[in-house]
Amino acid sequence: MMTHAAYDCDVLVIGGGIVGLSTAYALTRAAPGTRVTVLEKERGPARHQTGRNSGVIHSGIYYRPGSLKARYALRGSAELADFCAEHGISHATTGKLIVATERSELPRLHALVQRGREHGLPVRELGPAQIAEHEPEVRGLAAIRVGTTGVCDFTTVATRFATEVTAAGSIVRYGAEVTAIDRRPWGVAVRTADGLVVRARVLVNCAGLHCDRVARLAGDDPGVRIVPFRGEYYALARPELVRGLVYPVPDPAFPFLGVHLTRGFDGSVHVGPNAVPALAREGYTWPQVRPAELLSTLSWPGTWQIARRHWRYGAGEVHRSLSRSAFTRAVQRLLPAVTEDDLRPSPAGVRAQAVLRDGTLVDDFLIREAPHTVHVLNAPSPAATACLPIGREVARLALRRARGTGWKPPAVESGHCV
């Protein structure tokens, strides 16, 4: 058994997005004195999924009762708003409309009403005239208003987590891409591209778009493959057309929420995203192609099952990606006044969607344990909303693994309660 001094840290977190940093933050709070190191390959935090989404604090209305998404989003939305208020981070609780524009969507809208009430959310049903009271330029047959939805600056939230982690005496290291993981009876040793070796009792994999690859580096079969989907956004040149957040009724067969309208905390309005296959894990435009990553996607049997089942949906998304006029027509279903000239390109994001071998899109958060490791293998939206409870759960699992190596939290060793 290695001595305490032989370890470089107690828990090593791979990934400096909002989930990885919230996990590190939770570790330093749950067991003060725990030595945590975060390794992030980029030169700063929140460079991918965290910093490239619509900035919405989700209410939890979409998610199946009892699922991790529902439990963590319901809890996390309130906690995140409190965290932002405590640390002076831009945020607002605006509420949102979910609007049915076709009669075929009305049963699904009613089902969302029932689900919202099951969750205890403030849900109000609206007719066309009431829709216009909230959003004068939006048109629909019916809608529901969910009062607990909001917006915030997730990048600043993640940065604050990093600040709190370093203030607690732990380390956040940027520009540290993990290239090798060696799991031993005493723990793990990780090597980065620049030759740094870090030895830890427990490894936590929060690598997002690369989490399945990191799991395989650790010698574990994740059982899923990350299939990247790019979400493309536009900024609305006339933000006065939209007062708050407006969503279509989602398609229950696909885990994406459709093109929606989001007024951010800064007053700008973003339109999107769509969902098209990305040709690289960080493929934010069509020309960005990484052959090895594309081959990894195409060699996974589940990818072809998705294509077979959802080719019609996918073809429509690709068409809207390549044609601004087609994208505009999709937006006009909710916002008839919008024109093609109103849509100005905005940075895209890529969703790390875990897919099973049979083509099933993993719908819930997915966290798996292995010797000396905890892998977060599916954490798409609403993971940013739910980052605080997700971080606490992953931290709990990591601390349990650490105790299995004979480690005790320093505060316990010194006679204090944790």
Indicate the Cα dihedral angle 303, 308, 312, 317, nearest 10°. 10
Does residue 148 contact residue 116 with C-beta atoms inside 8 Å? no
Structural domain contains residue 104: no
Structural domain contains residue 136: no
Structural domain contains residue 188: yes
Task: Tokens for 160, please give them.
Answer: 């604050």
Does residue 148 contact residue 120 with C-beta atoms inside 8 Å? no
d(CA 270, CA 289): 26
Select from 402, 405, 325 the least CA-distant residue to 33. Answer: 402
Structural domain contains residue 346: no
Domain extent for 378: 1-92+150-224+362-412
Q: Which H or E run includes 269? A: strand 269-272
Count: domains in the chain: 1
d(CA 248, CA 228): 23
Q: What is the pTM of this model?
A: 0.95
Using CB atoms within 10 A of its CB, is residue 174 exposed (0-12), middle (13-18) or buried (19+)?
middle
Structural domain contains residue 279: no
Sequential pLDDT tens for the chain (418 residues)? 566 668 999 999 999 999 999 999 999 999 999 999 999 999 999 999 999 999 999 999 999 999 999 999 999 999 999 999 999 999 999 999 999 999 999 999 999 999 999 999 999 999 999 999 999 999 999 999 999 999 999 999 999 999 999 999 999 999 999 999 999 999 999 999 999 999 999 999 999 999 999 999 999 999 999 999 999 999 999 999 999 999 999 887 676 778 899 999 889 999 999 999 999 999 999 999 999 999 999 999 999 999 999 888 889 999 999 999 999 999 999 999 999 999 999 999 999 999 999 999 999 999 999 999 999 999 999 999 999 999 999 999 999 999 988 898 885 443 333 3
The CATH number assigned to the domain holding 69 equals 3.50.50.60
Beta strands in 177-244 (DSSP E): 178-184, 187-192, 197-205, 224-236
Strand 96-100 versus strand 245-248 pairing type: parallel
Structural domain contains residue 418: no
d(CA 331, CA 250): 14
d(CA 338, CA 317): 19
Structural domain contains residue 22: yes
Structural domain contains residue 42: yes
